[in-house]
Structure 1
Amino acid sequence: MDGTTARRDDAARTPDGRARGTRGPSGGGGTHRTADERRAQLLDAAVEILREQGLRGLTTRAVTTRAGVTHGIFHYCFGSKQGLVRALLERELTGTLDSAWGAATGADDVRTALHQGLLAQLDRVRTDPGRLVLLDELVRAARQEPDLEDPAAWEQARYLTEIESRLDTWARTADLVWLAPTADVAALVLATADGTVRTWLVDRDDARARRTVDLAATAIASLARERP
């Protein structure tokens, strides 16, 4: 198998190594669903448990009971609790990236793009702060537990990679260069987004949060200059 074929094969598979769109075993009531549908069903159940009971309540038995499926289906979809945690992080991260940085796609300049992205991420949290608090708890726990350290590191690395890609694209489109390595600028954007969100979760001050976004977008955009 050559490198191109291997990459295509990887892309056709889910994070747990199974082919996308394949059907797993049926759950209760004889209903047949695809593996992707079963994963979504179990992830929804896991989020409900996190909301109600916190991380301590997130057990395999609790998730399967809430979803109304067998343990066999759970292990088919995720393999382990760590696989479930990783999938939860992936779904939240994908949603955040799509809603926040997708909002900045049509911006005319770097400052506007940064402002739209940071503001969209803030608005996502304002819409449903409880979910972020619980998933943030999940990430912190993953960083503290040796067997869950990989999902947390993976979550942060993917976020930084996506932001860095956006920064490069915006600079090329506007014929600009960054005065600092884009990896460092991406880390600054991530720290700004996290700090703004965490501060808002404490004080719930919408006006202050929006002023922070305004200042941050202007400051970070000042690191870009016209290409010589």
Structure 2
Amino acid sequence: MSRLSAGERREQLAEAAIRVMIRDGVAETTTRAVVTEAGVPLGAFHYCFRSKEELFQTVIERIMERNLPPAGPAHPEGATPHDKVRALLRSYWDQVRARPDEHLVTYEVTQYALRRPGLADLARRQYRHYQDVYRAHLESMAGAAGLVWTVDLAVLARYGLGVLDGLTLTWLIDRDDVRALAALDEYARYLASVAAPADRVADRVADRPAG
């Protein structure tokens, strides 16, 4: 076994687990199957993870991290808030279409956890993580597009997660690209309606009388 750090070994095992989940399904993903896929002894798993639940949480986080788009594409001069938000959402959707099997795994993990006594907290942590990441992504999206949100960010993140989660699951079922993009564009219109150009907001704040 090659000499890897604990972090590198965790990464190796998480990637092996993703491959096993895609190939065999979450319910069939055992620690033995994961170490066999990774080509390491069983002891390596227990060195890196306290439980299979911890491994699953790591898998969820890794899949989400790499399926988020970059901070945002460059926007042409004169682009509207809708144009900017739409471009960023389409960047996200490109990631969904590029890795459908990984997204399917995340839904399987949720169902697996909810149906097993003692594992429901894994599903709760999964979706808390999703909301935290999506909230941070909304902040990045606004920064990249030069916008500020005019509604509570925690509420907007929960709403947006519900929209994107539903759109993703529906697309995994029917693979209807045309309707998926149409629905995504409708969501972009909503986001644009609750966004304001950051420079205008800053100007209004600066114009307020002191005191």
TM range (shorter): 0.7 to 0.9
1:39–1:77 Cα contact (<8 Å) kept:
yes
Structure 1 position 172, deviation (Å): 11
Which residue of structure 2 aligns with residue 10 of structure 1? none
Which piece of structure 1 moves more, 73-82 or 139-148? 139-148
C-alpha change, 1:56 and 1:195, in structure 2 (3 Å) is closer
Which residue of structure 2 aligns with residue 213 of structure 1? 184
Unpaired segments ≥5 residues, structure 2 = 205-211
Is 1:67 matched up with 2:35? no
Structure 1 position 109, deviation (Å): 6.1
Aligned 1:1-228 pairs, distance under 5 A: 27=1, 31-97=2-68, 99=69, 102-104=70-72, 106=74, 110-168=81-139, 170=142, 174=146, 176-178=148-150, 180-225=151-196, 227=201
Which residue of structure 2 aligns with residue 18 of structure 1? none
Write out per-residue CA displacement over residues 119-158 of structure 1, whole angstroms, 9 at most, x where no aligned residue: 2232222122122212320123223434333333223223
Which piece of structure 1 moves more, 61-70 or 104-113? 104-113
Please report the TM-score for the alignment, with normalisation by the length of structure 1.
0.73
Calculate percent identity across the aligned residue pairs. Answer: 32
Structure 1 position 87, deviation (Å): 0.8
C-alpha change, 1:111 and 1:144, in structure 2 (3 Å) is farther
1:111–1:221 Cα contact (<8 Å) kept:
yes
Write out per-residue CA displacement over residues 66-125 of structure 1, whole angstroms, 9 at most, x where no aligned residue: 22212221111112111111110111121123x2xx243655764344323322232222
C-alpha change, 1:143 and 1:47, in structure 2 (3 Å) is same
2:85–2:145 Cα contact (<8 Å) kept:
no
Structure 1 position 177, deviation (Å): 4.9
Structure 1 position 43, deviation (Å): 1.6
Please report the TM-score for the alignment, with normalisation by the length of structure 2.
0.79
Which residue of structure 1 aligns with residue 207 of structure 2? none
Q: Where has structure 1 moved over 6 Å in runs of 4 or more?
A: none
| Aligned counterparts of 1:171 and 1:35: Cα–Cα separation in 2 | 35
Which residue of structure 1 aligns with residue 209 of structure 2? none
| Aligned counterparts of 1:173 and 1:205: Cα–Cα separation in 2 | 28
2:60–2:106 Cα contact (<8 Å) kept:
yes
Structure 1 position 47, deviation (Å): 1.6
C-alpha change, 1:146 and 1:112, in structure 2 (3 Å) is farther
SS at match of 2:119: helix
| Aligned counterparts of 1:207 and 1:83: Cα–Cα separation in 2 | 38
2:84–2:145 Cα contact (<8 Å) kept:
no
Q: Which amino acid aligns with 1:104?
A: G
| Aligned counterparts of 1:123 and 1:62: Cα–Cα separation in 2 | 31
